[in-house]
Structure 1
């Protein structure tokens, strides 16, 4: 349901007026007003909401990319923590940080206060399942004076400011939460665009939030369409139905004009995840056989047509520091004989290369002696079954720094016994020990070393087979400027995005 608009009482005092010449005017009064106020952006996203736009799970990234939600911190271009709702912070002791809030208001008109922020973070810690950014972490948040929020962790967490940049730890107004703990981001966030209407899994409407602390957005709003089919997204851009289309399939890249293609190196890795808890791949020797059967170069050159690099680990070339620190996996089981073992291989079609990659993997695994059944669905209809271990193998694309910006966090959430996004259902004592050790390291270089040691422990189980490291293609109309492209894939539309 569309919410009634509220008066923007503070706009005249907080915001500078737009230049009248920024947009062409003409036509009737409505067209003139639209030109003065900024045009609406039409954006095609690849992933329909999987959880009714809950800010805690996979949908959190949708909200972040559309400029709806923000956390206490953000990530800068170098992957370091940068101010967002918090203007500054400092570490009081090994378990306690004090964040100083900037002056801001929620989209419902209420003030962003220490009490509201502390309550929002507390709600996130109580969410089920827990946000991936909080995997293995216990924290409490309390208001401190007029501008402070003190966050305390059960054990030392040297990268807490990075963790709090996660899209799944967005700060929402008190009215966002119901008695059962569910969070509704419609009209309750802090970003430059306010979510006003959600049309199921097909589209969403957003209006500019005029009281945004970071300044008035140049676009008057965003019309978001969720289009799972990659070819349809490319066609929508090519025919002028949308202004921006994310995740253009490599097979469609050549159909777009050169000035409408943006290729971005990302920290996204496509991997084959093997169910280490039950079924055929509970046997480590058969996981080793599957890993040995995979030819990653064929995927990078064939399926991805050179828009990806052959997989070398959880972390790819976009993390330049990782290449010189990589540790060879140890303790791998000797490859066994599949002997016709039957497996179900699942993937999703929101990223069009994945079904094709899965088909190539099916052939490679069958050549090695497995019998393979391939299952392809839209992601929102697949995730719960994958997490429940209903498949033997899963092909997925994962941005390793999406959740926190911390290289250790993805290992904790994806490959430890208590990990909240453990699609391989891996539970290995050596992996948990290596990840726990890395989590306790504060020095940046030493933490990177520890992350690579933990990565080697993960790869040694053969529960994950890195396939390719992706470069993402975004379609952007030639008249559009200011689209936010970053290797962490958290941003897309911001205050400077316009057409």
Structure 2
């Protein structure tokens, strides 16, 4: 049975109802009423029509509708998913596919389907960020074996192939220029309907290779407003709510929220290509002006960790490998005007930007803020339209390994290089980290690459976030994943 709705202040209740009422169903898709469907409130709406070649891929993963050849365990090591085993021989990796897997349209998973999906991803523009700096080709060997070849030996390839952006979809998904995941995945839930940026519907796929899901389906509503998401949990309008804002966590029953340290860093990216922060001395002045501890206490109410580097406590090995970083000396800002951009989708970021505005102005800068929804500001940020940009960034989101994040954000040809950084020393350190075999040697090379980035002051890490997820009291088996890959699983259901 569902928990009775809690009383809400009238404006909050009305806001939640306006956003959510009518978008969730309590019965099966066929009206049979078998079990109760899971009602999920997500933070960010789709930005690319739920294409797996974009960040929307992580929604498909969190709904257990699209799957990859391998997945990651708690330590970030690769383990079987659609592939049951793999073997490296130089630049070649041979993957053996799982028997008995069907796509949601009834077609069978085979080597040609895997090759089709990987080839489309490898040729995409822009590429999925997990493939930054990686050239790969895939060829079938019979019906159940795929050989993936990289331009250079890549010790991290299995982990790369765990990225939700490299999900394997049915042929029907690739008709035309876009990739449409509706009815094309292999997971326990089939994506059956998408209503633009408002909602999505998924039904249980009874022929799933891993068994029958315990819930009959999932009804998703995209609710960018954090207050409305929290209100939906309090009022009983939603069963699972992702990314509860810090400001709302104290208003919820502690038994309904889970707080997990996560590999996500709140960073101020500084534009090194043009504007005031092209000057290393002014970047150093900005770095010296930032008081991260006050932001943690004031904005995050202590529910975050002040940053010592780009990699936080979710990667405990990083702190023990760090050495002192030599940086440029700060120069006086002398009233130089800078514009900081950020977005509203994560409720804390506009507050962080406002705190930074005050701190930088006290240091002698003049600061303007530009705040929009993420979908409306991302392209400008990537184009270098701002002097600085506040971003909440997952550091091991794709591969379980931070080398890919560092390359994407700070390599000269990185696909997410908001700082517009082009530094040969950084490029060399990133190349070394990416080419080092997994284990202690790779971790050391990653920390050396982090140091090379920090030495440029292209990015000022401020704090490491904790994910706060809300689950209604009758929810069983919801995932609490610091990598933000899992949410609703095969076993998630309502009592």
Both structures adopt the same fold (TM-score exceeding 0.5): yes
In structure 2, the partner of 1:412 is: 407
SS in 1 for 2:478: coil
How do 1:59-208 residues align onto structure 2 when only pairs under 5 Å count?
Answer: 59-91=56-88, 93-103=89-99, 104-180=101-177, 182-208=178-204
Give the conservation status (yes or no) of the 8 Å contact 2:41–2:240: yes
Taking the aligned partners of 1:149 and 1:161, their CA distance within structure 2 comes to 13
SS in 2 for 1:228: coil
Taking the aligned partners of 1:208 and 1:301, their CA distance within structure 2 comes to 43
SS in 1 for 2:232: helix
Shift of the alpha carbon at 1:31? 11
Taking the aligned partners of 2:184 and 2:105, their CA distance within structure 1 comes to 6
Task: Give the gaps of 5 or more residues in structure 1.
Answer: 1-27
1:373 aligns with 2:378: no
Give the conservation status (yes or no) of the 8 Å contact 2:29–2:203: no
Give the conservation status (yes or no) of the 8 Å contact 2:28–2:35: no
In structure 1, the partner of 2:13 is: none
In structure 2, the partner of 1:39 is: 36
Taking the aligned partners of 2:283 and 2:443, their CA distance within structure 1 comes to 27
1:388 aligns with 2:377: no
Q: Structure 1 residues 361, 115: closer, same or farther in 2, change over 3 A?
A: same
1:253 aligns with 2:252: no
SS in 1 for 2:475: coil
SS in 2 for 1:286: helix
Give the conservation status (yes or no) of the 8 Å contact 2:76–2:399: no
Q: Structure 1 residues 428, 115: closer, same or farther in 2, change over 3 A?
A: same
Taking the aligned partners of 1:282 and 1:56, their CA distance within structure 2 comes to 32
SS in 2 for 1:238: helix
Equivalent in 400, 408, 420 of residue 395 of structure 2: 400
SS in 2 for 1:106: coil
Return structure 1 stretches of 4+ with deviation > 3 angstroms.
Answer: 28-33
SS in 1 for 2:476: coil
Deviations 1:220-256 (A, max 9, x none): 1111111111111000111011001111111111111
CA-based RMSD: 1.6
Give the conservation status (yes or no) of the 8 Å contact 1:77–1:486: no
Give the conservation status (yes or no) of the 8 Å contact 1:42–1:243: yes
In structure 2, the partner of 1:464 is: 459
Taking the aligned partners of 1:157 and 1:237, their CA distance within structure 2 comes to 44
Taking the aligned partners of 1:58 and 1:466, their CA distance within structure 2 comes to 22
SS in 2 for 1:234: helix
How do 1:339-378 residues align onto structure 2 when only pairs under 5 Å count?
Answer: 339-378=334-373
Taking the aligned partners of 2:28 and 2:138, their CA distance within structure 1 comes to 50
Taking the aligned partners of 1:62 and 1:491, their CA distance within structure 2 comes to 9
Shift of the alpha carbon at 1:345? 0.6
Shift of the alpha carbon at 1:323? 1.4
Taking the aligned partners of 2:113 and 2:273, their CA distance within structure 1 comes to 41
Equivalent in 225, 228, 231 of residue 224 of structure 2: 228
Shift of the alpha carbon at 1:211? 1.5
Taking the aligned partners of 1:378 and 1:98, their CA distance within structure 2 comes to 42
SS in 2 for 1:300: helix
SS in 2 for 1:43: strand
Shift of the alpha carbon at 1:178? 2.5
In structure 2, the partner of 1:17 is: none
Shift of the alpha carbon at 1:52? 1.5
Shift of the alpha carbon at 1:128? 1.0
Give the conservation status (yes or no) of the 8 Å contact 1:94–1:158: no
Give the conservation status (yes or no) of the 8 Å contact 1:265–1:471: yes
- How many pairs align? 468
Taking the aligned partners of 1:193 and 1:364, their CA distance within structure 2 comes to 48
Relative to the length of structure 2, the TM-score reads 0.92
Equivalent in 227, 237, 243 of residue 239 of structure 2: 243
In structure 2, the partner of 1:438 is: 433
In structure 1, the partner of 2:265 is: 269
Equivalent in 52, 56, 59 of residue 53 of structure 2: 56
Give the conservation status (yes or no) of the 8 Å contact 2:269–2:390: yes
Give the conservation status (yes or no) of the 8 Å contact 2:28–2:216: no
Shift of the alpha carbon at 1:281? 1.1
Shift of the alpha carbon at 1:427? 1.1
Taking the aligned partners of 2:28 and 2:273, their CA distance within structure 1 comes to 64
Taking the aligned partners of 2:61 and 2:273, their CA distance within structure 1 comes to 33
1:291 aligns with 2:273: no
Taking the aligned partners of 2:420 and 2:65, their CA distance within structure 1 comes to 32
